[in-house]
């Protein structure tokens, strides 16, 4: 485990090198992230909680693509390395940087896709992932950088799959737990199988049971700004933004809670723990330009807690 403490503020963050998965972010209000009590932490499968890194696909591979890459890609299924000399603790903030080279990604690449070991051998498709983590008295800042180190451009999605801890098993209480700030976004509702509805002014809550929706930004909106109700009368603010080749691209946002039924169907999720969490997940999920050779993309999430 990589434990980072900002001595000046006492805020801290713990990162499991498997998937560079942040599994704890503590600020003055205590622990902000949810990790299932049944989560595997031995590298046998992606960690169920914290902030898993999703890349190069969000969700399952495209239908009839033939790709066998696991859902959400390989970034969260491999051991990342700490960038030498990057761990620091200063008056302004503390932090660390982790990296994953495609050549070192031995799991989760599947077959029949540009990332699979057989096809990527030529070096046409290659990348280095860089994850910069900083914590200070105000926020946890996480920036995922995708560096195209191959000779071919590639399309990708990336997302920070953040699980917020909800105090007092209040996740299904709309006064205590919600995501506010997605009005105007176009909704892909995977539970109802409906796309294109526009989110209204009311906060997104978890009263209707399972929620699994992607909120796509309206024209011209680049950054996501969401207030997350996390129970105990507390809220956390999240801001996220993305770039491709240093130009801003719209950030989308996913809201997910499996409900009792979904929790019962996951072996690494406590049956009652759907009451203890809400996922609010910023990502670059649109049909943005492919990332050209030598170019980089970035996704930054700031959690003010």
**Interface with ligand TA6 by CB under 6 A: which residues?**
46, 59, 71-72, 161, 212, 254, 256, 279, 281
Give the chain as a DSSP string. -EEEE-TTT--EEEEETBTTEEEEEEETTEE-B-B-TT---SSSS--SBSB-EEBS-SSSPPTTS---PPTTBSGGGSB-EEPTT--EE-SS-EEEEEEEEGGG--SS--SSSTTSHHHHTTSSS-EEEEEEEEE-SSEEEEEEEEEE-SSS-B---EEE--EEE-GGG-TT-TTTEEEE--TTPEEEETTTTEEEEEP-SSPB-STTS-EEEEEEPPTT--SEEEEEEESTT-EEEEEEEEEETTEEE--EEEEEE-HHHHHHT-TTS-TTGGGGEEEEEEEE-S-PPPBPTT-EEEEEEEEE-
Chain centroid to CA 149: 23
**Of 12 and 259, which has the nearer Cβ to ligand TA6?**
259
CB of 193 to ligand TA6, least distance (A): 13
Residue nearest to ligand TA6 according to CB distances in the complex: 256
**Of 49 and 250, which has the nearer Cβ to ligand TA6?**
49
**Of 71 and 207, which has the nearer Cβ to ligand TA6?**
71
CB of 211 to ligand TA6, least distance (A): 9
CB of 75 to ligand TA6, least distance (A): 12
CB of 60 to ligand TA6, least distance (A): 9
CB of 185 to ligand TA6, least distance (A): 15
CB of 283 to ligand TA6, least distance (A): 9
CB of 196 to ligand TA6, least distance (A): 19
**Of 72 and 296, which has the nearer Cβ to ligand TA6?**
72
**Of 197 and 245, which has the nearer Cβ to ligand TA6?**
197
Report the distance separating Cα 114 and Cα 198, nearest Å.
34
Residue that has been written with the tokens 């997104």 in this structure: 204
**Of 57 and 291, which has the nearer Cβ to ligand TA6?**
57
**Of 170 and 280, which has the nearer Cβ to ligand TA6?**
280
């Amino acid at each position: 485990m990589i434990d980072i403490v900002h001595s000046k503020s006492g805020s801290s963050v713990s990162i499991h090198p498997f998937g560079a998965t942040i599994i704890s972010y503590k600020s003055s209000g205590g622990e902000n992230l949810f990790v299932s009590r049944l989560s595997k932490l031995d590298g046998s499968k992606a960690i169920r909680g914290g902030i898993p890194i999703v890349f190069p696909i969000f969700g399952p591979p495209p239908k009839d693509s033939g790709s066998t890459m696991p859902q959400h890609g390989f970034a969260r299924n491999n051991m990342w390395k700490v960038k030498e000399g990057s761990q620091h603790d200063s008056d302004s903030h503390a932090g660390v940087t982790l990296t994953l080279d495609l050549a070192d990604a031995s799991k989760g690449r599947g077959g029949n896709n540009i990332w699979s070991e057989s096809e990527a051998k030529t070096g046409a498709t290659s990348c280095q992932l860089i994850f910069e983590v900083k914590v200070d008295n105000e926020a946890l800042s996480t920036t995922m950088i995708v560096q195209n180190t191959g000779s071919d451009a590639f399309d990708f999605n990336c997302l920070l799959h953040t699980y917020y801890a909800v105090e007092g098993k209040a996740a299904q209480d709309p006064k205590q737990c919600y995501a506010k700030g997605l009005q105007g976004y176009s909704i892909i509702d995977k539970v109802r199988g409906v796309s294109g509805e526009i989110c209204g002014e009311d906060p997104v809550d978890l009263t209707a049971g399972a929620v699994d929706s992607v909120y796509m930004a309206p024209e011209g909106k680049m950054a996501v700004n969401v207030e997350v109700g996390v129970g105990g009368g507390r809220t956390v603010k999240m801001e996220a933004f993305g770039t491709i080749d240093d130009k801003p691209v719209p950030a989308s946002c996913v809201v997910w809670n499996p409900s009792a039924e979904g929790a019962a169907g996951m072996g690494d999720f406590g049956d009652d723990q759907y009451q203890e969490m809400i996922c609010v997940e910023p990502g670059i999920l649109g049909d943005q330009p492919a990332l050209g050779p030598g170019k980089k993309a970035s996704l930054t999430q700031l959690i003010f807690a």
